[in-house]
Chains A and B, each alone.
Chain A
Amino acid sequence: MDAFALLVGGILPYLTVVVFLVGMGYRFRAWFKAPQPGKMTLFPAPDSTAGGVLAETLFFPSLFKGDKVLWSFAWIFHATLALVFLGHIRVFTGLVDRILMAVGMSADNIGVMSATAGGVAGVVLLGTGLLLLIRRLTIQRVREISRVPDFFALLLLIAIIGTGDLMRFGPHFDLEQTRVWARSLLAFSPDVPRNGLFLVHALFAMLLIIYVPFSKILHFGGIFFTQTLVKRS
């Protein structure tokens, strides 16, 4: 096993999990601990019942009122991102396939469905990711406040999506490899796929996950705290 594969496929995954969990735990704890002397009520008050916060999380209504163009980029981007996350369950376990087969789908049909849904999602995600980047570069009020971390987050994301799409649309990639890899990781005896493109994709993805607790990508955590502070008194 060459060093790169071992590093990316055998060591980094464990590091990623540890750093992510510890980092997130640390951040959330700090947020919980910080006292909030009063509410910050803002009218028309976003509804900060559980349902209201959920609506804000799922549909970004404040952003919709504020900037419809960004809303459409961001919403499609996030929705597709969520889809792709779900899709990755299939990448790592055969469980989804077995369930689908149990309800009567053939292996071929599953393949076609996944190729179509995954392919479309991959292209849309890449497209909206690029749009967010272009927006950042071309709109003055966004450009003037953009810095290295803002570009880094987007570029890393685009790199992950790009390499993912290359695997999807390039030479056939057998998912059995990743499933074996996932199982072997859980058994603490990593069996790393040798596909170079895959290793690069996985490397970028893990870097992003490691980066999340330390960056503004954690915005999805904080939003629960800010939204619950603006409730009606």
Chain B
Amino acid sequence: MAQDTAHVGAGPATKRPEVVRAKESPVVDPEQVIRAITAIDGGPRVLKLYMEMCARCGTCASQCPVYYGKAEKKYNPVERSDLIRDIYKKHCTTTGKLLGALVGARDYRDGELEAWAEHFYTCTGCRRCATYCPMGIDNSVIARKGRAILEAAGMTPDTMQKVVRISLETGNTDGASPEAFKAAIEFLEEEMKEEHGVDIKIPVDVVGADYFYVPPSGDVLVNPEATTGVAKVFYALGLQDRWTMSSHYFDGANYGLFTGNDADMKADNKPYVEEAKRLGCKVLFMGECGHAYRIMKMMMEPARWWGDLPFTIMNCMEFTAEQIKAGKLQFDKSKNPQPVTYHDPCNFGRSCDIVEEPRIILKASCQDFREMYPNRGENWCCGGGGGLSAMDDIHEFRMTVSGVKKMEQVRATGAKYVAAACSNCKRQLAQLMEYYKEDIAVGGVHDMLSRSILINGKAAKRVDYT
């Protein structure tokens, strides 16, 4: 079930599907590209400022995981952003119009989108540069603009395009049918029965439930322990029949964020909001998926894409951490004796400030929790952000360039398990461990909880998780 999807997870040998590239590139209208760039002159304001106020001080490059992995000019964030900035200068700034090449301004060159397709998909969108830039410039916003231009020209890399298409057609990025989903859920319920000897339910399509759980589909189909963890939390709290999943909408992943296509992003988002309304839930309960939560909490809700919402939006880690703090959950830490570290997914850390919650859960459920440095909002990207993790055609780049720093960071902790609350991070991390032949397991946060939480006084029977 896992093959050929965006969320092949922590399992061993990860399959690498053949890369299919469009043989003939679509005909690109240069005017269309130039129009998209000159439109920045009228806003959004941040993007306009990013075009005009870079001090060219090089700080971003020293903080970028890609440039860290390989200090090549084409990986310098400023160089990448200049692809758009130089054309903007030519058309929209006084000096650019008057002095042209002398100030770096230039016009769009026919056929260059081909190269853009490579360059704009070497930024992981991690926003680390923005954290340190003296001007607050977020190069990922410029890269996303570049991707939007590629998208409009029909030149989004096939791997990305495919994920978006599947998601819009089926409601989830794995392309799984409701039947397949229900079968997977039944399987998980059986597993939990074996582990604990009691019936721990994963309710599906229950109208009137309080919590509507939306994980990334990988957390049901590929690395389901995060979902069993959530189910056990509800069971332990006696909220077994107060939550539900949807057999049609069980994947918060939304690749419109990554292709730069706002219309797709909204089209992919809307059914989830409608499903939440249909189910009449009080809380849209997002799973361990950084970008899904970011889109819901930081974009959709404040920008009121769909007006007033009859529910609140919460992340499952916030909920569980609260319950732990309130002393409502008990654990047998000896079930997780190995050293465990936490990788802050960029979308949870820098973009949503969900940083303490996963630590509370991991410290409660593991014997030996170790920090990785730097961490929280300053953590380094796994190297697969911005959707890159799903792109098998750039596997080599992700392993030998963008993921280099992460591998060093993980090694330095001496951990035997890296937890990451994100399917994309998990996929990239697992591939890194395989590539560098490290014997380090990769998984989610609730996964660790699932192995050690006490249900009726007892932790799960299974001991060997390798």
Q: Are B138 and A38 in contact (CB under 8 A)?
A: no
Of the residues B58, B67, B353, B378, contact of A45 by C-beta under 8 Å? B353
Q: Is A60 an interface residue (CB 8 A)?
A: yes
Given contacts A35-B43, A66-B132, A142-B57, is CB(A233)–CB(B298) below 8 Å?
Answer: yes
A30 to B93, CA, bound (A): 12
Instruction: Tell me the A129-160 residues at the B interface (CB within 8 Å).
Output: 139-142, 144-150
A31 to B41, CA, bound (A): 9
- Given that A142-B58, A145-B79, A146-B56 are contacting pairs, would A223 and B46 also be in contact in the complex, using a CB cutoff of 8 Å? no
Given the interface pairs A43-B377, A62-B132, A62-B134, the reply to whether A36 lies near B43 with Cβ below 8 Å is: yes
CB of A37 within 8 Å of the partner chain: yes
Interface of B is mostly: helix
Minimum C-beta distance from B75 to chain A (A): 10
B161 sits at the interface (CB 8 A): no
- B127 & A42 in contact (Cβ 8 Å cutoff): yes
A40 to B54, Cβ gap below 8 A? no
**Closest residue of B by beta carbon distance from A223:** B135
User: Which of A31-49 touch B at CB < 8 Å?
Assistant: 31, 33-46
Inter-chain contact A34/B42, CB cutoff 8 Å: yes
**Most B-side CB within 10 Å, residue of A34, A38, A141:** A141
The yes or no answer to B299 lying at the interface (CB within 8 A) is yes
Write out the residue numbers on chain A whose beta carbons fall within 8 Å of the beta carbon of B54.
216
Candidates A62, A149, A222; contact of B104 at CB < 8 Å: A149
B56 in complex: contacting residue of A145, A214, A225, A229, CB < 8 Å: A145
Q: Are B42 and A214 in contact (CB-based, < 8 A)? A: no
Contact check: which of B73, B102, B135, B138 meets A219 at CB < 8 Å?
B135
Query: Chain A: interface residue count, which band?
Result: 35 or more
User: Which residues B115-145 have CB closer than 8 A to chain A?
Assistant: 127, 130-138, 141
The digit string for A41-72, where 1 denotes a CB below 8 A from any CB of B, is 11111100000000000001011011100100
Interface: B76 (CB within 8 A): yes
From residue A70, how far is it (CB to closest CB) to chain B in Å?
6
Q: For the complex, is B350 an interface residue (Cβ under 8 Å from A)?
A: yes
From A46, A215, A229, B46 is in contact (CB under 8 Å) with A229
A25, chain B: closest CB distance, angstroms: 14
Q: Which residues of A contact B45 (CB under 8 A)?
A: 31, 34-36, 225, 229
Complex-state Cα separation, A214 to B76, whole angstroms? 25
With a CB–CB cut-off of 8 A, which chain B residues contact A140?
Answer: 71
B44 / chain A contacts, CB cutoff of 8 Å: 34-37
| Chain B, residue nearest A146 (CB) | B56
Distance in angstroms between the alpha carbons of A140 and B58 in the assembled complex: 9
Q: Residue B454 at the A interface, CB < 8 A?
A: no
Cβ contact of B58, chosen from A38, A40, A139, A230, cutoff 8 A: A139
Q: Is the CB of B136 within 8 A of A141?
A: no
Tell me which residues across on chain A come within 8 A of B95, comparing CB atoms.
149, 214-215
B residues less than 8 Å from A148 (CB atoms): 102-104
Residue of A nearest to B93 (CB): A214
CB distance from A144 to the nearest CB of B (A): 5
Q: Is A105 an interface residue (CB 8 A)?
A: no
B353 touches A216 (CB 8 A): no
Question: B78 interface residue, CB < 8 Å from A?
Answer: yes
Q: In this complex, which of A38, A146, A226 has the most chain B Cβ atoms within 10 angstroms of its Cβ?
A: A226
- With beta carbons under 8 angstroms apart, the residue of B56, B93, B132 that contacts A142 is B56
Instruction: Return B334 CB to nearest CB of chain A, in Å.
Output: 34
Q: When chains A and B are docked, how far (Å) is the Cα of A148 from the Cα of B86? A: 14
Indicate if A128 sits at the interface (CB-CB under 8 A).
Answer: no
In the bound complex, how far is the Cα of B141 from the Cα of A144, in angstroms?
A: 22
Asked whether B456 is an interface residue with its Cβ less than 8 Å from the other chain, the reply is no
Q: How far apart sit A42 and B52, CA to CA, in the bound complex (Å)?
A: 21
Q: How far is the CB of B98 from chain A (nearest CB, A)?
A: 9
The answer to whether A113 has its CB under 8 Å from any CB of chain B is no
Which residues of the partner chain B approach A121 to less than 8 Å between Cβ atoms?
none
Chain B residues near A209: list those with CB within 8 A: none
Instruction: Tell me the B395-452 residues at the A interface (CB within 8 Å).
Output: none
**A74: CB under 8 A from chain B?**
yes
Q: Is the CB of B352 within 8 A of A43?
A: yes
A80 within 8 Å of B (CB atoms):
no
Interface residues of A in 189-223 (CB under 8 A from B): 214-216, 218-219, 221-223
Which of B44, B93, B302 is packed against the most chain A CB atoms within 10 Å? B44
Judging by beta carbons under 8 Å apart, are B53 and A219 in contact? Answer: yes
- Which residues of A lie under 8 Å from residue B104 when comparing CB positions? 147-149
Partner of A144, one of B41, B57, B76, B298: B76
Contact call A43/B350, Cβ cutoff below 8 A: yes
Indicate whether B351 reaches chain A with its CB closer than 8 angstroms. yes
Q: CB of B349 within 8 A of chain A?
A: yes
For B60, the closest partner residue in chain A by CB is A66
Cα separation A39 to B134 with both chains bound (whole Å)? 18
Complex Cα–Cα for A205 and B410 (A): 52
B59/A63 in contact, CB under 8 A: yes
Q: Are A34 and B351 in contact (CB under 8 A)?
A: no
Residue in A closest to B353 when the chains form the complex, CB atoms: A43
CA distance A141 to B74 in the complex (A): 11
Are B56 and A216 interface neighbours, CB within 8 A?
Answer: yes
Question: Assuming the A-B contacts A63-B59, A216-B54, are A149 and B132 also in contact, with contact meaning beta carbons closer than 8 angstroms in the complex?
Answer: no
Q: Given the complex of chains A and B, what is the CA–CA distance between A42 and B352 in angstroms? A: 8
Pair B94/A223 contact, Cβ less than 8 Å: no
CB within 8 Å for A141 and B61 given contacts A37-B303, A43-B350, A233-B302: yes
Residues of B within 8 A of A46 (CB): 136
Q: Mark B residues whose CB is within 8 Å of A.
A: 41-46, 48-49, 52-59, 61-63, 67, 71, 73, 76, 78-79, 82, 93-95, 102-104, 127, 130-138, 141, 298-299, 302-303, 349-353, 355, 376-378
14 residue pairs bridging A and B, Cβ less than 8 Å apart: A35-B45, A37-B44, A42-B130, A42-B377, A43-B377, A62-B131, A66-B132, A74-B134, A140-B71, A144-B79, A145-B56, A145-B78, A148-B103, A225-B49
The 4 closest A-B pairs by CB, nearest first: A66-B132, A142-B58, A34-B43, A226-B136
